Amino acid sequence: MNADHEYGYFTEADSADVVVARNKNAKDERLKQIMEVITRKLHEAVKEIEPTQDEWFRAIMFLTETGQICNEWRQEYILLSDILGVSMLVDAINNRKPSGASESTVLGPFHVAGAPELPMGADICLDQKGEPMFVHGHILDTKGNPVEGAKIDVWQANDEGFYDVQQKGIQPDFNLRGVFRTGPDGRYWFRGVKPKYYPIPDDGPVGKLLGALGRHPNRPAHLHYIISADGYEPLTTHIFDPDDPYINSDAVFGVKKSLLAEFVKIDDATAATTVGLKAPYYDVEFDFVLSRAKTA
Ligand code: BEZ
Ligand code: FE
């Protein structure tokens, strides 16, 4: 046995040990550890699956096509991670919250930095399409105190299930997006339209895989939020419509029980006038609870 063959030559039985041993001089300990775990689990999976040469090549072509469809705005590998539940798992590991704090969920690909900062109460629907909705609540700390100066960055799909960036020239720029800042009472309120479920981009290899697995590509209706405030952990989350047909089968596993809001239909002209809308409209009340920054 020479220095390159601490585990001897490559054999089916010793395959993972041989590869792991070859990485012994890795310059970065974390990389070495990650590659060891991935190598061992991957070899274990291959041994259990026993792919034919053709199946292995189809997997290679799937990954090749996944890379080839990526561009500046299309990230098919993140979609793959999403539908495998890995994005939500990484999110859970990195966002363990103290009890009482609002839970996080995936960011998704449709956030746009630099949305306009709007006065509290503004209507983020710029094209007047869809069923009107009034969204309101408080930003609180885990003791129930209001958080002043919290920045609420909100975005949502329209009533047909499209974000503005997916319908350039059809929806106005920054339609259904806005940034709001809370005052001393921690209260927030704004107007929008009732969102609808929509498919994740499904015209590529990930969509084909979902089809082959007998899965639909849809995400239940939701509003996205990034909420940040000095001294608190930023919160990236959604609220969901519990009556959505896909609420129990989100294609990317983003739904959590604590993030279900109520979309209450109000058919009362006086109430509608009070919130600057026409009846009927949907009332959505939801409080968000921020946890203290770990390093504060
Ligand atoms: C979204 O909610 O915007 C989203 C999340 C994951 C994949 C695709 C879209
Ligand atoms: Fe979304």
| Mean pLDDT for the stretch of residues 185-206 | 97
- Nearest-CA residue for ligand 1 atom 8 is 200
Q: How far apart are CA 269 and CA 281, in angstroms?
A: 9
pLDDT for the residue numbered 98? 86
Mutate to test the pocket of ligand 1, among 75, 81, 82, 236 (most ligand atoms within 8 A of CB): 82
pLDDT for the residue numbered 72? 85
Whole-prediction pTM: 0.93
| Mean pLDDT for the stretch of residues 130-157 | 98
Mutate to test the pocket of ligand 1, among 163, 252, 255 (most ligand atoms within 8 A of CB): 252
- Nearest-CA residue for ligand 1 atom 2 is 108
- Nearest-CA residue for ligand 1 atom 7 is 108
User: Is the distance from CB of 76 to CB of 205 less than 8 angstroms?
Assistant: yes
Ligand 1: atom nearest CA of 108 is: 5
- At residue 2, the 3 state secondary structure works out as coil
CA torsion angle for 146, 147, 150, 153 (degrees, to 10)? -50
Residue with tokens 């989100």: 250
| Mean pLDDT for the stretch of residues 30-34 | 98
Mutate to test the pocket of ligand 1, among 77, 78, 110 (most ligand atoms within 8 A of CB): 110
User: Is the distance from CB of 148 to CB of 112 less than 8 angstroms?
Assistant: no
Evaluate if residue 80 carries a pLDDT over 70. yes
User: Is the distance from CB of 17 to CB of 44 less than 8 angstroms?
Assistant: no
Burial class (CB in 10 A: 0-12, 13-18, 19+), 204: middle
User: Is the distance from CB of 238 to CB of 225 less than 8 angstroms?
Assistant: yes
pLDDT for the residue numbered 5? 54
User: Lowest-confidence range among 4-8, 82-86, 91-95, 255-259?
Assistant: 4-8
**pLDDT band for position 295 (cuts 50, 70, 90):** confident
| Mean pLDDT for the stretch of residues 272-293 | 97
* 98-290 CATH, one of 3.40.50.300, 2.60.130.10, 3.30.70.1400, 1.20.120.1200: 2.60.130.10
Determine the distance separating the centroid of ligand 1 and the alpha carbon of 143, expressed in angstroms: 31
User: pLDDT tens digit string along 240-273?
Assistant: 999 999 999 999 999 999 999 999 999 999 999 9
Evaluate if residue 143 carries a pLDDT over 80. yes
User: Is the distance from CB of 195 to CB of 221 less than 8 angstroms?
Assistant: yes
pLDDT for the residue numbered 1? 45
Determine the distance separating the centroid of ligand 1 and the alpha carbon of 119, expressed in angstroms: 27
**pLDDT band for position 6 (cuts 50, 70, 90):** low
- As given in the structure block, the two tokens for residue 157 are 């799909």
Q: Which residues contact 31 (CB under 8 A, 6 or more apart)?
A: none
- Nearest-CA residue for ligand 1 atom 6 is 108
**pLDDT band for position 2 (cuts 50, 70, 90):** very low
- Nearest-CA residue for ligand 1 atom 1 is 108
Q: Where are the domains of the chain?
A: 3-82, 98-290
